[in-house]
Amino acid sequence: MLKARSIRVATEWYKLSSMTNPFNQSAMLKPGMPAPDFTLPDQSDQPVQLSGLLQKGWVALFFYPKDHSPICTTQVCAFRNAYHEFQEAGAEVLGISADSVASHQQFTQSQRLPFTLLSDPNGDVAARYGVLKTFGLIPGRVTFVIDPQGVIRMAYPSQFNAKAHMEKALSLLKHSKGSPTEPVG
């Protein structure tokens, strides 16, 4: 009896783990799709609108799970250390998590971040971009590069390879140099 139950549980877990979207979340947006506009508060509690930033150039938009956590700190510091290169490539960097404005303010100060962090407390913007939660629980880690016309040119999901988010985004921006690119997935 116990063996049959164990096999049944293992079979259900396999079905769940092999599904691309086991928790019925919205599909992640892909390169070539329009980036949904949004307005969210930054670490100074000032509203930031994506469309306003796109009027100035490209945007590297990264979603991350949690301020002050080890992998997230690695990710934001990678973007911080390469920030001048993003600026030279004509791109602004934005980070989004569900953390509060106060948490973002503290995180920005403690890590000396030169770019904007946005607070998405209910995960509404993350949901519109289809940023999936790992195991349906842990907020996702995805980076999008958006061109000035509001088209997604890169979408890179990786929960654990934090530095690659910056590397892939910067590589695309350096190769595009402000010209239209083919979508990169």
Residue of 53, 72, 142, 145 marked active site:
72
Closest CA to 26 of 105, 126, 152: 126
For residues 120 and 126, the answer to whether their CB atoms sit within 8 Å is yes
Place of tokens 């994506």: 50
179 φ/ψ angles, rounded to the nearest 5 degrees: -95, 155
Say whether 77 is catalytic. no
CB atoms within 10 A of CB 131: 26
Which parts of 24-183 are beta strand (E)? 39-41, 47-49, 58-63, 91-97, 116-119, 142-146, 152-157
Active-site residue numbers? Answer: 72
